Amino acid sequence: MSKNEVNRIAIGVVRKPHGVKGGLKVTLFNIDLELLQQMEQLFVKTGKNWKQIKLKNVQGHDDYAILHFDEITDRTEADMYREQQLYADRDEVPAPDEDEFFFEDLIDCEVMDEHHNAKGIVTDVLTPAAHEVLVVSRDHDELMIPLVEDWIVSIDVLEKKIIVRSAEEV
């Protein structure tokens, strides 16, 4: 999920098609089903362009949602959205609580360990099934840091700083 040029935030990632009528099984980030059901449209980034898709139906489950869109009518078409992130206009989503953040807000944060050793700058947040992963770049190297309590000491999106534990201390 790279930084957006427009004022949109990722609200989930499509894991796979669901059913034969074009449903998408989606892992949601920072958004609840009640708010999602009130939305009329979401967006998918296709290269440098945005595709608007109209939300038709939302079904909720414990750890995922099943979404149906007017533009996606069969399983084959739904499969083209696999692992794509879904975005909403940022002004349609309430601001996160003080101890929460949007993944986009982590991009460009400076990362250092608790001994103040610079690790690099967050360039991406990956969303594999288990947990999110920060991609931290420094010079020509990339470091992957799990976005879990065992690794993260603190996150300050206003100051654009993330403190992580050293690998020896995890």
Convert the pLDDT of each residue in 107-122 to its tens digit: 999 999 999 999 999 9
| Residue 129 predicted with pLDDT over 90 | no
**Range list for CATH 2.40.30.60 in the chain:** 8-92
CATH number of 8-92: 2.40.30.60
| Residue 76 predicted with pLDDT over 90 | yes
Side chain identity, residue 110: E
Name the residue among 122, 152, 116, 154 with its Cα closest to residue 136: 122
DSSP state, residue 93: S
CA 104 to each of CA 25, 58, 62, 66: distance values in angstroms, whole numbers, following the listed order = 22, 24, 24, 23
CATH number of 103-169: 2.30.30.240
What tens digit of pLDDT does each residue of 134-147 get?
A: 999 999 999 999 99
| Residue 2 predicted with pLDDT over 50 | no
**Range list for CATH 2.30.30.240 in the chain:** 103-169
Where does the chain have alpha helices with state H?
A: 33-38, 75-79
Using a 10 angstrom Cβ sphere, with 0-12 exposed, 13-18 middle and 19 or more buried, the burial of residue 8 is buried
